[in-house]
Chains A and B, each alone.
Chain A
Amino acid sequence: MRALSAAMLRELLIFFRYPGWVVSVVVWPVLFPAAYIFLARALAGPDPRAQAAQALGTPDYVGYILIGTLLWMWVNTTLWTIGSALRKEQLGGTLESNWLAPQPRAALLFGAALAHAVVVLWMVAVATAAFTLVYGLKVRAPAESALLFLANVPWVYGLGLLFASLVVWAKEANGMVHAVRSVFLIFCGMSFPVAVMPGWMQAVGRALPLTHGIDALRMAALAGAGWREVAPELAWLLVWGAALSVCGFLAFAFTDRRMRELGTTGTY
């Protein structure tokens, strides 16, 4: 536990030593959705809200886009930061000094993930506040929305853990992160309804957890849906969460052992 919180504190300290990152976490979530919101306005004709109600199932097209982009950005930053966490420490040389300590090695990675979660929560808070002020967002079922948001934690960080191990073997994160985040960007209905895609793409999209995370949050925050209505989505998220966490953990255990066989903890 102490190792976990120490690792988290360490990551936060380092995070705040890079002003550029700090600023981008505040600015990016507010700016990124604007591209889609303006496109929606341009295409929707004289009454965007009426058009949205027809096409998206809710008049609140702004909220619709904000929820999609926020969740996607979360996945995106997780892939970048947690995904490259092990590799970064391997390159920097601190992986060995951490692993020399009498601590479960996964705890150190979880600590970094926790630090990331803290930053993300902050990002969500800033974004929600900004969206409310700038775009007039109204969240209808706040408690349900918050819990649904958190229901994404297992699969998002499970995926991050899995990525952390894969990146160690692939030696660089860029290619893999770009591939995976593009899949999520296109297939998961971040800024449009999944139903507008061709059939096979819809099938892919429906299988992915992000699609359900976005859907569930839209239902709760925009349409005020209760637990019963979002239950299937929630179940899907948790199943993915369990599966990805197990995969992530196994991949990490395998990587740990393999690195000790190959002697790659300190080399690159």
Chain B
Amino acid sequence: MAMNEASAAIVVHHLRKDFPRRAQGPFWRRRGPTSPFPAVRDVTFEVRPGEIFGLLGPNGAGKSTTIRVIATLLLPTGGRAYVAGYDVVRHPASVRRRLGAVLTGDRSLYWKLTGRENLRYFAALYDVAPARTAGRVESLLGEFGLAEKADELVERYSTGMKQRLAIARSLLADPPVLVLDEPTVGLDPQSALGVRSLIRRIAAEGRTVLITTHYMEEADELCDRVGIIDGGRIVALDTPENLKRSLDRTTVVRLWTTGGDGRLREGLGRVPGVLRVSLREAAEPGRPSEATVTGEGLRRRVAELVAAALAAGAEVERVAIDEPTLEDVFLHLTGRGFDR
């Protein structure tokens, strides 16, 4: 048996999930079985009661697959997962009774029903006692700033309101554990801010929250601990501070350059002390592209870095020496940037 599945709110132990590869083309041309695709290869982590835990990783890292196994919507190929001590495969009903989940955001609601009707419907599904339903629904509507629009069809809600209603729905049965898959994706900055402060409030009520995100800043700012996931594996797991501190002796130098040729990366990489170079192309032609150089003792090597850039035919627009961010941690661990 795995770790302390009884005391932790969520335990994921060597989780693996293979999907059969989808055959393409007309059905008469599809070939027989191909090798399965491992969306999650080996994921192990543990969420402590009352904490906000973040699974951070780029698109396709396996975040949603992991969270769907936890939410009993997917059967794992290998490994185990427990919610509040219950095995998600063997006791899915017990898990569902203790778990609130927002996986598809606004799509998880009936758009042809009003906000209030949605909540009342799901309250029945979550066995909220009929006598308590009205009170619970009203208090959630109020708490989530939806009271005014409660009798409008959800199809008329903004994306941010739909997302708040979806979160309210997941809290109907007052579950101790909440999982949210990319809760702020697709929201404007203002609504995203609102959703984040909601999540903080929910955790402050003593609930355990697991979120997935591909926003570094979100993980950094919101989460007590972060598991960085890439290619179906956890590559690092700690508090955001510790993760950044792991790069303590590392400096991050960013250079914004225009022009230049393909030798930029190579040239920067030859400067002593440099561990990694990653390039982000300019968003539009004419704008500078960004080179992030991580390494040890680079504060003393800035001149050499600039010289290397000039030698590659580039013009240097700006140079900055930064504290490492979670993105730098990811970069350092995987050698790749986050594609946004």
Contact = CB atoms under 8 A, between A and B. Distances in A.
- Do A and B belong to a common assembly? yes
Interface of A: 2-3, 5-7, 9-10, 13-14, 17-18, 92-94, 96-103, 108, 257, 260-263, 265-266
Given A14-B110, A260-B75, A100 B19 contact: no
Contact of A262 (B19, B99, B104, B122): B19
A17 B112 contact: yes
Contacts of B124: 2-3, 5-6
Nearest to B126: A101
B73 A13 contact: no
A102 B193 CA distance: 31
A6 B133 CA distance: 13
B121 A93 contact: no
B89 to A, nearest CB: 10
B111 to A, nearest CB: 8
A260 B74 CA distance: 4
Given A9-B121, A92-B107, A102 B19 contact: no
Contacts of B17: 263
B110 A94 contact: yes
8 contacts: A7-B121, A9-B121, A92-B107, A94-B110, A102-B96, A108-B125, A262-B20, A263-B74
Contacts of A94: 107-110
Report which residue of B97, B121, B153 has the largest number of chain A beta carbons within 10 angstroms of its beta carbon: B121
A10 B117 CA distance: 8
Contact of B109 (A2, A97, A260): A97
A260 B101 CA distance: 16
Contacts of B212: none
Contacts of B321: none
A94 B108 CA distance: 5
Interface of B: prevailing SS:
mixed
A14 B65 contact: no
Contacts of A98: 125
B71 A100 contact: yes
B127 A10 contact: no
A265 B69 CA distance: 12
B65 A101 contact: no
Contacts of B111: 92
B88 to A, nearest CB: 11
A218 to B, nearest CB: 39
A261 B69 CA distance: 10
B103 interface: yes
A263 B110 contact: no
Contacts of A10: 110, 113, 117, 121
Contacts of A18: 112
